[in-house]
Chains A and B, each alone.
Chain A
Amino acid sequence: MTERNPDPVTAPSTTSPALIALAWIVVAIPLLYGLWQAILKAAKLFTG
């Protein structure tokens, strides 16, 4: 007997939007920091 999966695409979410936002902020801050540092380094390509 197989277990029928609920569709994860259409399943309604009851997770707090604040928790989702917090999770994304935790990973986005270091990622943006790294990206910013790389852009600063890359800027030398245009400014010499």
Chain B
Amino acid sequence: MPFLDKPSSVAKPGYSRWLIPPAALAVHMSIGQVYAFSVFKTSLVHRFGSSQTAVAWVFSLAIVCLGLSAAIGGRWVERNGPRRAMLVSAIFWFAGFLVGALGIATGQLILLYLGYGVLGGIGLGIGYISPVSTLIKWFPDRPGLATGMAIMGFGGGALVAAPLSNQLLRTYDSGFDPNAKGAVASTHALAMTFVTLGIIYLIFMMIGVALMRLPQGYGGHDDEVTHQAGMSGALVRANEAIKTRQFYLLWIVLFCNVTAGIGILEQAAPMIQDFFRDGKTSAVSAAVAAGFVGLLSVGNMLGRFTWSTTSDIIGRKPMYMVFLGVGAVLYLLLATVGHSATAVFVLLALFIISFYGGGFATVPAYLKDLYGTLEVGAIHGRLLTAWSAAGVVGPLIVNGYLDAAGKPGNLIADDYKPALFTMVGVLVVGFIANLLINPVNSKYFDPMAHAAPEQQEEAKLA
């Protein structure tokens, strides 16, 4: 399909750059569904007669495949341009739902792993990175704002998918009440919901493919176009970037920020109840705890846009000093005075979770500052392995401490202190790693890549 090639994807003169964020949002909102996978959990456990853990592996597999496909496929995305990458992502995401639906219909859990977990996970990884580098190229003046809008869509996608999925399950199974405790949807409803979601997301992502364009001048081979340089004129390829100290420092920064955020997200509902427990009863009801989880979702989504946009004003390094430094202080306060009042607990958790989202959304602009736009999408893809690693380590830390204390939902505030103090330590490590980040040595710059002449002059003066 030649119309998907990079040269054919270049915008005609006069094409508005304000069509690019909705194109990116269409993709990120679709793949953001993965964070709402838990709405199917009870029904899937019932359908397959399996353990909670066996079904939870579907989600874990999808996140691992996200990290791997983003890391491996990043350079392919850069070479082939955003439209082809977005189409491939849409096909994988759609196929993941279809194969998953087949697994549900036939009772084969392995097909759900292969479909939603592996195929869907590949769609997630390619889709996540595909619009990022293009957005930065269209918004060189405000890269944080541009990537913040798209990555906010990933957080927002879960907010849309959860009620939409419940509505679809109810449409296909009139006896299903998502608000009833332990409610289970029929096999037919589950399979049909997967198929319907697949079709909806395929259409939505195609809108993104149709709208997405490269800015003028970016249609040729890398060596033939002018790129936007990073600090000190940096234009670095992905294979060189992973040889730099800065890449691993930023990997640690992202890993620490995500690990700390997951510490709250993983146990949000039982945590707020345990913090305000007196004897066997909690002052916080299950409905209020569910409201707290809803509020965190909003904070996570808005933090992505707000803090990423703020980084355009204050700079990327100071922004991460806030995420990690202020974040560590907030975690400390949560551990020590969080149990004093519900409002204090909620406010502290809300800021912590907004920093978690902000860390995701600001990192592409940080990479652009360090390495330039030459292969920023591919470098971003490789950095996302930090997300996959944190997705495993974060819950391990929290669950490790809590399992030793008892069962979440029956604990008290003091039982959370070891986990929360560990998160303070994790954030301090990230804070130090961020402090150590400096401009990349010019020996890693690509000798064949060109920056705009005025940028080269600025780099010489810097």
The interface of chain A, by Cβ under 8 A from chain B, is 1-6, 8-9, 11-15, 19-20, 23-24, 26-27, 30-31, 33-35, 37-46, 48
Which of B17, B161, B346 meets A8, CB within 8 Å?
Answer: B17
Which 7 residue pairs of A and B lie closest in terms of their CB atoms, listed nearest first? Answer: A14-B14, A5-B217, A34-B159, A41-B294, A45-B291, A44-B291, A34-B160
Pick the most buried of A12, A13, A34: most chain B CB atoms within 10 A of its CB.
A34
Contact A41 B290 (CB under 8 A): yes
Cβ of B16: which chain A residues have Cβ within 8 Å of it?
Answer: 13, 15, 20
B160 pairs with A19, CB closer than 8 A = no
Complex Cα spacing A31 to B22, Å: 11
Query: A8 vs B141: C-alpha distance in the bound complex, in angstroms?
Result: 10
Given the interface contacts A34-B160, A38-B294, A43-B291, does A4 sit within 8 Å of B301 by beta carbon?
Answer: no
* B140 on interface, CB distance cutoff 8 Å: yes
Q: A15-B19, A41-B290, A48-B287 are in contact. Are A31 and B217 (CB under 8 A)?
A: no
Chain A residues lying within 8 Å of B224, measured Cβ to Cβ, are: 1-3
Indicate whether A35 sits within 8 Å of B287 (C-beta atoms), given known contacts A2-B225, A8-B137, A8-B215: no
CA distance A26 to B13 in the complex (A): 24
Q: Quick check: B452 and A20 within 8 Å, CB to CB?
A: no
Contacts of B161 in A (CB 8 A): 34
Given contacts A3-B226, A48-B287, contact A26 B22 (CB under 8 A): yes
Question: Looking across the interface, which residue of chain A has its beta carbon closest to that of B219?
Answer: A3
CB distance from A26 to the nearest CB of B (A): 6
Q: How far is the CA of A42 from the CA of B153 in the complex (A)?
A: 19
B138 to chain A: which residues have CB within 8 Å? 8
Known: A11-B13, A31-B160, A48-B285. A20 touches B19 (CB 8 A): yes
In whole angstroms, how far apart are the Cα atoms of A24 and B71 in the complex?
Answer: 30
Asked, given contacts A27-B153, A48-B287, whether A37 binds B301 with beta carbons under 8 Å apart, the answer is: no
The distance in angstroms between the C-alpha atoms of A39 and B163, with both chains bound, is 12
Q: A8-B137, A8-B140, A45-B292 are in contact. Are A23 and B220 (CB under 8 A)?
A: no
Check if B298 is an interface residue, CB within 8 A of chain A: yes
Query: Please, which residues of chain B bring their CB within 8 A of the CB of A4?
Result: 217, 226, 452
Known contacts A5-B215, A34-B159, then 17 further A-B pairs from the complex at CB < 8 Å, ordered by chain A residue: A3-B225, A4-B452, A5-B217, A8-B137, A9-B139, A13-B14, A20-B16, A20-B19, A23-B211, A24-B22, A31-B29, A35-B298, A37-B162, A37-B163, A40-B294, A41-B291, A48-B287
- Residues from chain A with a CB closer than 8 A to the CB of B137 are 8
A13 x B15 contact (CB < 8 A) = yes
B329 at interface by CB-CB < 8 Å: no
Partner of B291, one of A8, A19, A30, A42: A42
Question: In the complex, which residues of chain B have a beta carbon less than 8 angstroms from the beta carbon of A5?
Answer: 215-218, 225-226, 452
Using CB atoms, name the residue of chain A closest to B18. A20
CB pair A34–B14 under 8 Å, yes or no, is: no
Query: Which chain B residues in 140-163 approach chain A with CB under 8 Å?
Result: 140-141, 153, 156-163
Pair A26/B141 contact, Cβ less than 8 Å = no
Q: State A13–B297 Cα separation when bound (angstroms).
A: 36
In the complex with contacts A3-B224, A6-B216, A15-B19, A35-B159 CB distance below 8 A: yes
Instruction: Please state if A34 and B156 are interface contacts (CB–CB under 8 Å).
Output: yes
From B19, B26, B293, B301, A19 is in contact (CB under 8 Å) with: B19
- Closest CB-CB distance, A40 to chain B, in whole Å? 8
Task: Say how far A17's CB is from chain B's closest CB, in angstroms.
Answer: 9
**B429 contacts the other chain (CB 8 A):** no
Measured between C-beta atoms, what is the minimum distance from B301 to chain A in Å?
7
The answer on a CB contact under 8 Å between B15 and A15 is: yes
Whether A45 contacts B288 by the Cβ 8 Å rule is yes
- B207: nearest residue on chain A (CB-CB)? A26
